[in-house]
Structure 1
Amino acid sequence: MRLLNKTAVVTGAAGGIGQAIVRKILAEGGRVVAADLSADSLKVFNDFPTDKLVTFSVDVTDYKQVEAMVLHAVTQFGQLDIVINNAGIGSAKPLLEHDPLGDFDPVTNVNQKGVYHGIVAGGRQFRAQGTKGVILNTSSVYATIASEMTFTYNVSKAAVDMMTKCAALELAPLGVRVCAIAPGRVDTPMLRQYEALGLWEHIRKEQMRQKFTLPSEIADVAVFLVSDEANCINGCTVHASDGFENFKYPLQKE
C-alpha cells in the first residue's frame, strides 16, 4: 500500500475529483481528513470507517479555518503527511459580461487564495513536526491555454502553477515536495454546466481519445504524486488531460 499510515488532508473532498481522491487514499492504506465548505455535502462520507476518515467543514478562503483543519488532522491522527489543495470553483461567462465582484473575486479567493492558505498552513505544520511532507495542488489545463468564457478560472489556475513552483523552492530545504496536477475534461458536476450550453459533445471531442476522463483516473495520478514513488517529481505541474492541450479540435468525423 502506497500510503500506509500516512495522514492526508483533502479540500473540496465532497466533489467528483475530491471524493475519488479520498477513496483512493483510503484504498492505499492512508487516513484522511475530508474537508469541504458544506457540512451537508460531507454526509457522503457518513458510511466510511471513522478510524480512517474524519470530516471537517472549512472555508478555504479563511486562513484561520485552514489552519484549524490542519490542526484537526494532527489531533485526530497524530501527524500530517500530505496536503491536497483540491477545492475549486468556476463558471462559464463571457469576459465583458462579468460583474467584477461576483465573477472574479469568488473564483480567485477559492482557487488561488485557498491554495495559498493550504500551502502555508501545511508547510508550517511540516516544519513544526520536523518531518517531510507533500503538498499537491489541483491546477488545470486551462492554466496554460486561453479559452472563451473562463477568464477568471484560467487566471486562477495559472497562479496555482506558479505558487507550486515557488513553494517547492522555498520548502525544499525542509524535505517537503510541492507539485500540482492539471486535469483536462473530467466528468464532474462542475463540467456539467456545459450541457445547458449545448456544448457537451463538443468538449468531449477535445480529448485526444474523445472521451471524458473519470474522477477515479485523476485520483490514480494524484495518489501516485503524493506517494514515495514520485519522490523525484517536485515543483512542477503534471498534466492528466488525455492530451487536451496538445492538439486542435479534430477535423475528421467520428
Structure 2
Amino acid sequence: MASVLITGSSRGLGLELVKQMLLLPSTTIGTIYATSRTASPPEPLSRLIASSNNRIKHVQLDVTDPANVTAAADQVSRLSEGKGLDILINNAGTQSERNGRTSAMSLSDLEFTMRINVTGVHLVTSAFLPLLKVSKTKSSQSKKIVNITSTLGSITWSHKSAIASVPAYKISKAALNMLTVQYASELSAQNFTVFAISPGWLQTDLGGGRYAHLRPEVGAREVVRIVLEATPEKDNGVFRDICVKGFGGTYSGVNPPW
C-alpha cells in the first residue's frame, strides 16, 4: 500500500490524477495527498475528498513559497505517522504568454514560468526527499519522483514544435528535464526511480482546451499506469511518453529524445 503526493491537484491533470489514484484499490494506493495553493480545498477537489473514505488528505502547498513548502512537508510527515512518502508527482505548472518570437518574450514571463515549472519542482523535491527516503515501501519496490513535463521541452524535437508559440514554457520544460536527470543520477543508488513523463496534449486550461487531442482522464490514466509499473532499472533518469492509439502514432509509448 503506497502513499502518493500530487502537486497542483485542484484542477486539470492534477485533479484527474487524484481521481485515477482513488479508483485503485487501497491495497495499491492508500493515502493520496492532494495539494492546492488555497488553505481549503476548492471545488471539485473538496467533493472528491468527501467521497474518498478518508484516503485523500488535502495539503496547502504553493511551490513558489519556500516556507510554505517546508510547512507542507512537515504536515505530511505528521499525517504519515513516520511512514514517509512513497511517490511524489510534481504536476504543478504554468503556461502564460503566447508569443512566437523568443526575442519578444518578456523577462517577467520567463522568470515566472521558470519559478513554477523548474524552481518549484526543486523546492518541493528537496523538501519531501527526507520523507521519501524513510518510505516504508517493500524492498522490491522503489521510491518514485515523477516530473510532469512535455515533449515541447525536447531539444531534439524542437523543429517539430516550432509552431507552438510558447517559448518560456518550452525553455522551462527543457530545464525541468535536466533537473530530473540530475536527481535521478544522485539517487540512483538509493532505490529511487526518478523520471519525467509527458501526459500528452490535454484538453485542460493549461493545455489546448477543446483543440487538444486528449481528455484529461485519458492522459492521467496513462500516467498512473506508467508510474505504478516504473522500475529503477528501466525508468530511472528516463523521459517517458504515454501510449494511446490513434493521432498518427503521436502517443506510441516510445521514449522521446531529450
What TM-score do you get using the length of structure 1 for normalisation?
Answer: 0.79
Q: What code does the residue aligned with 1:65 have?
A: N
Deviations 1:121-177 (A, max 9, x none): 232322355764111000001011243421110011011111111111111222111
Name 1:177's counterpart in structure 2. 193
Change (3 A) 1:182 1:192: closer
Instruction: Determine whether 1:220 maps to 2:230.
Output: no
- Does the 8 A contact of 2:92 with 2:117 survive in 1? yes
Alignment of 1:1-254 (within 5 A): 5-28=1-24, 29=26, 30=29, 31-39=31-39, 42-47=42-47, 48=49, 49=52, 51-78=54-81, 79-91=84-96, 92-94=98-100, 95-101=102-108, 103-129=109-135, 132-144=142-154, 145=158, 146-147=161-162, 148-192=164-208, 200=211, 204=212, 212-227=213-228, 229-231=229-231, 232-240=234-242, 243-244=249-250
Higher mean displacement: 183-192 or 151-160 = 183-192
Q: What code does the residue aligned with 1:163 have?
A: L
Identity of matched residues, %: 25
Name 2:255's counterpart in structure 1. none
Q: Distance in 1 between matches of 2:37 and 2:170?
A: 22
Q: Distance in 2 between matches of 1:87 and 1:171?
A: 22
Q: Distance in 2 between matches of 1:179 and 1:143?
A: 14
- Does the 8 A contact of 2:105 with 2:167 survive in 1? no
Higher mean displacement: 80-89 or 163-172 = 163-172
Q: CA deviation at 1:80?
A: 0.9
Q: CA deviation at 1:83?
A: 0.5
Deviations 1:58-89 (A, max 9, x none): 11022332232233223223321110000000
- Does the 8 A contact of 2:149 with 2:198 survive in 1? yes
Q: What code does the residue aligned with 1:215 have?
A: P
Q: What code does the residue aligned with 1:136 have?
A: V
Q: Secondary structure at the match of 1:117?
A: helix
Q: Secondary structure at the match of 1:89?
A: coil
Q: Distance in 2 between matches of 1:99 and 1:222?
A: 32
Q: Distance in 2 between matches of 1:165 and 1:133?
A: 16
Q: Distance in 2 between matches of 1:225 and 1:118?
A: 21
Give the RMSD, CA atoms, in angstroms: 2.4
Q: What code does the residue aligned with 1:182 have?
A: S
Q: Secondary structure at the match of 2:43?
A: helix
Q: What code does the residue aligned with 2:149 have?
A: S
- Does the 8 A contact of 2:10 with 2:44 survive in 1? yes
- Does the 8 A contact of 1:85 with 1:115 survive in 2? yes
Deviations 1:89-139 (A, max 9, x none): 0022233433212x1111110001111122212323223557641110000
Q: CA deviation at 1:36?
A: 1.8
Q: Distance in 1 between matches of 2:44 and 2:32?
A: 14
- Does the 8 A contact of 1:141 with 1:183 survive in 2? no
Q: Distance in 2 between matches of 1:245 and 1:223?
A: 15
